Chain A
């Protein structure tokens, strides 16, 4: 898609993948941070990670396995909290621990079997060996995330404000909420191979946190977060490939630097917004 700007195929695919993944994750980062479900995003990222590790071990498609695992976790959280009479926080902690244990077990086991290298890609991401189809899939999920926000903007913003108030004004909160979790799970699973299970969370939180430092309107945050993420990710991909540095970890560091700079430069003296 960007071959007319970047003639090198490997670099082009890497930049495209990072661009699409970062825009999709950044849009969802606004939902994750504002609905305050970052622990759900965190658990889903690790579920996708565990699913991919299991898929690799069983010689199944790791992307499909991570999608299934991420979505399963999203739909398990609510019923587990209700049936086991646990707080959602405890349920998430439990599921996160199980996912981490499964992922680490299979990665360690694969290392003893001599398959460690491919499993390491799941931890830190790999943008070098991408097929064109994988880039198309990322482009598709990026479009899905954008369309999802455009179509359900008012429902999503009402849920961000207060779920019970959203329900009381006649919004079908549950279906919209589960659709949110589904899109997050899908995005997490598709972005996992290029960003890595350990770093994905940076993409799912930091862009919104950066945008919040400068924006006074929620609609602006939905625009600024993906724009910042796109610039940071493309820069990370180009610099990483130019100087043979690991792309996803480098981009995660860049995100952190931009976040610190944003906090320092923020025109919003956010402490004044707090009620005493």
Chain B
């Protein structure tokens, strides 16, 4: 059953990188409700990251219509990004540039503060809350360049949570995390989904998904080949069988 106002609605969307001679995403149609937990699987180069960046308007839609949080992504991408958290798979920054953890997390609020605005009390409170949710308050004044990869990933997660997103797009969020940190993040994700945040996660690690109904979207060659609900324990099997089916097709 689909509600009339899904939080993400893609209708026959095509996305192409600038200068590319063919679209990276082809004819994508997807409707996601508020508070859903969506796992996006598929082989490397299937278009999983491209799908996330199409949803938050970072990549141009060449055809079709995308509506996120009631906004047209094509014309209102910047505003969409103020409501959508996006944890990038690959993030690189100069570790010698002296940014503290607190400063980096505060950046998550910059879009909502606006072009000429200055951070206020509310913004600093949101930063403290995000640091608390990730359990990294003690790192607040540390330079981010001094932290481990896993700690940096948590800081960027906090940056996304600091703007109280309606949707959270996570691209390989477990890649730098140890087992304990994975469990922590999963508990956090379960809490966020429970409080109405829609979570889309690209991952190859299906062992520790939160115990709740999951929608699996499997991609292959820029297309969605499977999109269905299942239990967390079935996700890996669905992704594997979809991959086999696609390769035999």
Contacts and interface: CB of A to CB of B under 8 A. Distances in A.
B58 A167 contact: yes
A196 B56 CA distance: 46
A210 to B, nearest CB: 14
B58 A216 contact: no
A238 interface: no
Interface string B115-144: 110110000000000000000000000010
B174 interface: no
A132 interface: no
B18 interface: yes
Interface stretch (B92-100, B211-219, B220-228): B92-100
B19 interface: yes
Interface string B52-80: 00001010000000000000000000110
A215 B98 contact: yes
Report which residue of A157, A164, A165, A167 has the largest number of chain B beta carbons within 10 angstroms of its beta carbon.
A165
Interface in A122-177: 151-152, 154-155, 157-158, 160-162, 164-172
B177 interface: no
B30 interface: no
B99 A273 contact: no
B145 A217 contact: no
Given A85-B19, A170-B78, A161 B99 contact: yes
A212 B88 contact: no
A34 interface: yes
A168 B109 CA distance: 11
A275 B145 contact: yes
Given A155-B110, A158-B110, A161-B99, A172 B78 contact: yes
Interface string B96-107: 111110011001
B82 interface: yes
Contact of B111 (A170, A216, A270, A275): A170
B115 A155 contact: yes
Nearest to A219: B103
Nearest to B144: A161
A82 interface: yes
A155 B108 CA distance: 11
A82 B56 contact: no
A84 B41 CA distance: 35
Interface in A79-130: 82, 85
Contact of A157 (B79, B94, B107, B145): B107
B127 to A, nearest CB: 13
Given A85-B19, A217-B98, A171 B88 contact: no
Range of interface residues on B (Cβ < 8 Å): 35 or more
A36 interface: yes
B86 A168 contact: yes
B112 interface: yes
A81 to B, nearest CB: 10
Contacts of B111: 169-171
A2 interface: no
Contacts of A151: 116
Contacts of B98: 215-218, 221
A169 B115 CA distance: 12
Contact of A273 (B109, B143, B149): B143
A218 B99 CA distance: 7
B67 to A, nearest CB: 17
A168 B116 contact: no
A154 B97 contact: no
Contact of B81 (A155, A161, A170, A218): A170
A260 to B, nearest CB: 19
A217 B88 CA distance: 25
Nearest to A85: B19
Contact of B88 (A85, A155, A168, A172): A168
Contacts of B116: 151
B83 to A, nearest CB: 8
B146 interface: yes
Contacts of B95: 273-275
Interface in A167-196: 167-172
A164 B96 CA distance: 19
A176 to B, nearest CB: 9
B146 A273 contact: yes
B156 interface: yes
B94 A168 contact: no
Contacts of B104: 161
B198 interface: no
Contacts of A166: 107, 110
A137 to B, nearest CB: 26
B44 to A, nearest CB: 20
B110 A162 contact: no
Given A165-B93, A274-B96, 7 more contacts: A157-B107, A161-B93, A166-B107, A167-B58, A169-B159, A270-B96, A273-B146
